[in-house]
Structure 1
Amino acid sequence: MGSNVFGNPITTKTLEQMPEYIGKKITRTDRAHVAMNMKNAEGKDVKAREFVEDLKEKWGNGVSTLCVIYNATGDTIRHVGSNDWYGHIGDSPYPSEIANGQWGAFLHVKTSGASSGSVAATVYRGLNEAGQVCDWMLSWYNPWSRLFDDNQAYTEIREGHHYEEDHWDYIYNILKNKGLSYTDNWNGCISSVSTGSSTSPIFEGVMKLVDA
């Protein structure tokens, strides 16, 4: 795991040490449920936020999006794609893997010297309870001009490899009108995102299973 993931992975072995799971066949949903219950355990959420706030301080002034995303899908998820409409990823890359029960953190920034915002999407691949491959897409809209605009957040879940085709114009037109929070429920999976209204807001995403 990279330096921009936080928390101990929650695995089958983790649950086997818990009294309520002794002697029980542990499922992916069980692991996801425990991950949701331990979302803020041992200060891992605080560490993720402090990490991305430090990235922001080092980067300096200007439009940027401080992203923290949590995996409660029951298994490790893997980064499989991204799209920049405006701006680019900062000094720390998208986490290549985020284990169940971990936060990932990264900074997305405006293009230096340009009147542009931070508007982008990232895609992670995992499994639903039935073991089917699903892609979680999380996106944020943090515009440079605030005169007639505000931040937005949008997410959706689709079948594996869905975003290898070019759906980005379609997604952009949805994203720019979605508001500060959004939740998608698809094929046994849930993805929730939220953002603030400042020029450098915290964007938070949580990926989980329906019964977690």
Structure 2
Amino acid sequence: MSKQSAEGNEPQNVFGTKVDDQFVKKKFPEFETLEVNAADKSYFAYRLKEAVQKGTTYKAYMQTLRKIIEQQPDTDNKKYTICEIYNATGSPIHLLKKHHDFSGHILGDNYFPVTIENGQLAVVLHEGSSAAVIYTGQNYNGKPYAWLHAWENERDDDKRYVFTEIEKPEHYDSDDWNLVSSKLTQESPFHDDLKGSYSEASIRGDEDKHDNVCIYSGILTLDIHVYGHD
């Protein structure tokens, strides 16, 4: 999987500080004597995403990926997607199974990490470029759910598609990637919710690079940010 950092703590392509009980109580003294629940941790993590992307290590890594793209043979005639997966579920999320390539492959040695902590962002470079990844986690009641994120950025007509959905983890036992592929280009929803879980997906051009590079953003969270659960 992903290469580990020099300290051996986190993969090189994971950014941000774990937002757990200790983090919340340290940053927000009003929680010091209170029980911190998943909704609280999700709430704070959801609002920290932009801060993570402003960090120096994240910015440096993005520049490294752009240099890798520039060094590829015939790079101007290829499609690239920088895929970002952000965890704001209030709990760790875990890779359900190896990501699936519809077209292309991951470029470099840093793959989707096995675990992404709450408040952390994983970044993967994909050449091709159409793929899907599934992470499992919990809703605010502690029930297990799976978040699927998929994108397509491979067409010559510059059309881009995203697809996200939330299901029970066993829903993906069948590995029906053809069904996911058809949903990706036909329905292309950019958000989904199920039993307190919520998912957001978007894709945009990379402002610092050529037109053949896009950034996919997938956010795994709880629906408290949309529907205002207590």
TM-score by length of 2: 0.81
Instruction: Give the match for residue 194 of structure 1.
Output: 202
CA pair 164-56 structure 1, distance change in 2 beyond 3 A: farther
Correspondent of 2:105 among 49, 65, 88: 88
Q: 8 Å contact 1:2–1:96 — kept in the other structure?
A: no
Q: Alpha-carbon deviation of 1:144? A: 3.6
Which range moved further: 186-195 or 60-69?
Answer: 60-69
Residue 12 of structure 1 aligns with an amino acid whose one-letter code is D
Correspondent of 1:75 among 61, 70, 91: 91
Aligned partners of 2:14 and 2:182: how far apart in 1? Answer: 31
Instruction: Give the match for residue 55 of structure 1.
Output: 65
Aligned partners of 1:49 and 1:193: how far apart in 2? Answer: 21
Correspondent of 2:145 among 114, 125, 134: 134
Q: Alpha-carbon deviation of 1:167? A: 2.4
Residue 89 of structure 1 aligns with an amino acid whose one-letter code is I
Residue 189 of structure 1 aligns with an amino acid whose one-letter code is S
Q: Alpha-carbon deviation of 1:21? A: 1.3
Whichever structure has more helix as a proportion of its residues is: 2
Aligned partners of 1:79 and 1:45: how far apart in 2? Answer: 25
Residue aligned with 1:195, SS:
strand
Residue 104 of structure 1 aligns with an amino acid whose one-letter code is A
Aligned partners of 2:63 and 2:13: how far apart in 1? Answer: 12
Instruction: Give the match for residue 102 of structure 1.
Output: 120
Residues 74-118 of structure 1 show CA distances to partners (whole Å, capped at 9, x for unaligned) of 1111112221111111112112211100111001112xxxxxxx1
Instruction: Give the match for residue 205 of structure 1.
Output: 218
Q: 8 Å contact 2:53–2:59 — kept in the other structure?
A: no
Instruction: Give the match for residue 5 of structure 2.
Output: none
Residue aligned with 2:40, SS:
helix
Aligned partners of 2:64 and 2:19: how far apart in 1? Answer: 26
Q: Alpha-carbon deviation of 1:47? A: 4.2
How many residues align structurally?
A: 202
Give the aligned CA root-mean-square deviation in angstroms. Answer: 2.0
Q: Alpha-carbon deviation of 1:153? A: 0.6
Correspondent of 2:172 among 163, 169, 183: 163
Aligned partners of 2:55 and 2:181: how far apart in 1? Answer: 29
Residues 144-175 of structure 1 show CA distances to partners (whole Å, capped at 9, x for unaligned) of 422xx611111001112322212211111111
Divergent runs of 4+, >6 A: none
Residue 224 of structure 2 aligns with an amino acid whose one-letter code is D
Q: Alpha-carbon deviation of 1:46? A: 6.7
Instruction: Give the match for residue 175 of structure 1.
Output: 184
Match status 1:20 vs 2:33 = no
Identity among equivalent pairs (%): 29
Aligned partners of 1:151 and 1:135: how far apart in 2? Answer: 24
CA pair 45-119 structure 1, distance change in 2 beyond 3 A: farther
In structure 1, list runs of 5 or more residues that go unmatched: 111-117
In structure 2, list runs of 5 or more residues that go unmatched: 1-9, 206-210, 226-230
